[in-house]
Amino acid sequence: MDFYLSSIILIAFLMIAMTIHVIRYSGFNRQQKSWYIVTFVSVLFCSAAEYAVHCGHYDPAFAVPLTVVTVLQFSIAPAMAVFFSGALGLHKQARRAIWFFIPHAVIEIVAAPFGWIFRFTKDGYHRGELFSIYSAFYFLSLIYLMASMLITGRKFRHRDKSTIIMIVLTLIAGIIPVTFLNILTAYISIGMAACLCYIYYNDLVQEDTREELVAEQKKITEMQEHMISGLSGIIESRDTETGLHVSRTREYVRVIAEGAKKDGVYADEIDDAFVDLICTLAPIHDVGKIVVSDTILKKPAKLTPEEFEQIKLHAQSGGVIARRILSGVTDEGYLKFASDIATYHHERWDGKGYPAGLKGEEIPLCARIMAIADVYDALTSERCYKQAIPPEEAVKIIKDESGSHFDPKLVDVFLAHLSEADVHPEKDA
C-alpha cells in the first residue's frame, strides 16, 4: 500500500498543478475553466476517498463517515465523464447528461444504509450484491466519454484519433485491474486520462488556431499581391512601355535571386523567403513614375538635364508611395523591402547613382538585384527613344559595368543563370 499511497500523492499533486494551470491559463473562458476545475478536483477527491476507504487502518467507529465519503465517491466517479465532456467544450450536452447520473447518485444514497452496493463490517469495506449497478454506470460513463471526444474532434478541422485511443486504453488499463483483480489503479489511470484530455483539447484548439492564422496570412498575402498588381497597373496605364517590362524584370529578378541562393552567394540574406519577397515586390520598382509628367515620360527624344532630374524623382517618390499604399496591411520588414526596391534600384556600385549616392553593399541587396534586371531589360527592349540591342551586346554591357554600375557577385550569378529566364524580349505593346 505504500506504493499506492505514493501514486495517490503524485496524482493529487498533478491534479492540483493542473487546476492552478487552468485558473491561470488565458486560452479558456470562465465556463471552460469551471468544467476543467470540477474535473480535476473530482479526480483529486475520489482518489483520496478511495485511499481513505481501502488503504487506511479501518476503525468501525468511522464506519458512518467512511460510508458518506464512499457514497460521494461512487456518485461522482461515473459523472466525471460528463465533467470531461464539459471540459472538452460540450457544455450543453454535459448539462443534459448530468441529469442521467443524478438518479444513480440517488440510488447510492438510498442503498447505502442497506449495504446493497457496498457495506462496512468489522473487517472493513465489502462490495454489495448490487455492486453491478455502480459498474454499469461506470461503463456507460466510459462510453459517453468516448462519444464526447469523437464529437469534439468533429467540431475541429484537425482530429487526432490516436490520442482518443490512448486515452481510452489508459482508462481501461486502470479499470480492468479494479474490476477483476481488486487492484486499486482506477484513479491513477483517470488522473492520467484527465491530463491527456486536457492536452488533447488544447492540441485541437491550437491546431485550428494555427490553420486559421495560416488562412488569415494567406488572405493578407493575396491582398498584398492584389495591391502590388494594382500598383503595377497604375504604372502601366501611365507608361505603355512598362507593361511587359514589369513581367520581364520580375523574371530576371527571380533568376538572379534563385541563382544566388543555389550558388551560395549572399547566403546569409538570400533564402526562400527572400526569393519569394523580391519576386512579389519587383513589379513596383517603377511605381514612382506616376509623379513624372507624360511629356517627359513619353518623350521620343533625348531628355534635357532638367528633364532627367525630373525622371530621377521617381526613385525617391516610389519608396514613399510604396510605403503609404502598403502600410497597414503588412509589417515593417515588408514595407522596408518594398521601399528599398523602389527607392534604390538606380543606385550604382561605385556610388554614382541616385537618389542617395549609396555605394557597394550600402545599397540594399534587393535593389542591387533589381538594378541588373532593370538595366538588362531596358537594353534589350525597344523604347520610344531607342531601338533594342541584341542580348549578346546587352550581356557585354552588363559584364563591362560589373564593379562600377553593378554588384560583381550578382553579375556573375546573372550571367551564369540568364539562360534559365523564361522571357521573350520584344516590342512592348
pLDDT higher than threshold 50 for residue 427: no
> Across 5-9, 158-162, 179-183, 359-363, which has the greatest mean pLDDT?
359-363
Summarize pLDDT for 29-40 with one digit per residue, the tens.
788 788 888 888
> Across 72-81, 333-342, 395-404, which has the greatest mean pLDDT?
395-404
Summarize pLDDT for 279-307 with one digit per residue, the tens.
989 988 888 888 888 788 777 778 888 88
For residue 389, how many other CB atoms are within 10 A of its CB?
16
Q: How confident is the model at residue 275 (pLDDT cuts 50, 70, 90)?
A: very high
Summarize pLDDT for 67-96 with one digit per residue, the tens.
888 888 888 888 887 887 777 777 777 788
Q: Please classify residue 88 by burial: count the beta carbons closer than 10 Å to its beta carbon, then call 0-12 exposed, 13-18 middle and 19+ buried.
A: buried
Contact status, residue 192 vs residue 18, Cβ threshold 8 Å:
no
Q: How confident is the model at residue 406 (pLDDT cuts 50, 70, 90)?
A: very high
C-alpha cell belonging to residue 412: 556573375
pLDDT higher than threshold 50 for residue 428: no
pLDDT higher than threshold 90 for residue 51: no
C-alpha cell belonging to residue 328: 497597414
> What does the pLDDT read at residue 417?
95
Phi-psi region of 115 (alpha: psi -120 to 50; beta: other; left: phi over 0): left
The pLDDT > 90 percentage for the chain reads 25
- Mean pLDDT is lowest, of 35-44, 88-97, 265-274, 411-420, for 88-97
Summarize pLDDT for 135-183 with one digit per residue, the tens.
888 778 778 877 776 776 565 555 556 666 666 666 666 666 555 565 6
Q: Residue 400: CB partners within 8 Å, gap ≥ 6? A: none
Summarize pLDDT for 102-111 with one digit per residue, the tens.
888 888 898 8
* Average of per-residue pLDDT across 57-61: 69
> What does the pLDDT read at residue 48?
81
Summarize pLDDT for 204-223 with one digit per residue, the tens.
666 655 666 666 667 766 66
More confident residue, 253 or 66: 253
Q: List Cα–Cα distances, 390 to 243, 370, 378, 379, in angstroms.
A: 20, 21, 11, 8
Return d(Cα 78, Cα 136) in angstroms, integer. Answer: 9
Tally the residues of the chain.
429
Give me the residue label for grid cell 444513480.
104
* Average of per-residue pLDDT across 16-26: 82
More confident residue, 423 or 99: 99
* Average of per-residue pLDDT across 191-198: 74
Q: Please classify residue 200 by burial: count the beta carbons closer than 10 Å to its beta carbon, then call 0-12 exposed, 13-18 middle and 19+ buried.
A: buried
* Average of per-residue pLDDT across 236-241: 56
Q: To the nearest whole number, what is the mean pLDDT of the chain?
A: 80
Contact status, residue 234 vs residue 290, Cβ threshold 8 Å:
yes
Query: What are residue 125's phi and psi, to 5 degrees?
Result: -80, 140
Contact status, residue 238 vs residue 297, Cβ threshold 8 Å:
yes
Domains in the chain with CATH codes: 2-211 (1.20.1070.10), 239-420 (1.10.3210.10)
> Across 114-123, 135-144, 371-380, which has the greatest mean pLDDT?
371-380
> Across 115-129, 321-335, 355-369, which has the greatest mean pLDDT?
355-369
Q: List Cα–Cα distances, 411 to 233, 260, 373, 421, 424, in angstroms.
A: 29, 10, 10, 15, 20
Q: In one letter, which amino acid is 64?
A: V
> What does the pLDDT read at residue 98?
82
Q: How confident is the model at residue 366 (pLDDT cuts 50, 70, 90)?
A: very high
Contact status, residue 402 vs residue 376, Cβ threshold 8 Å:
no
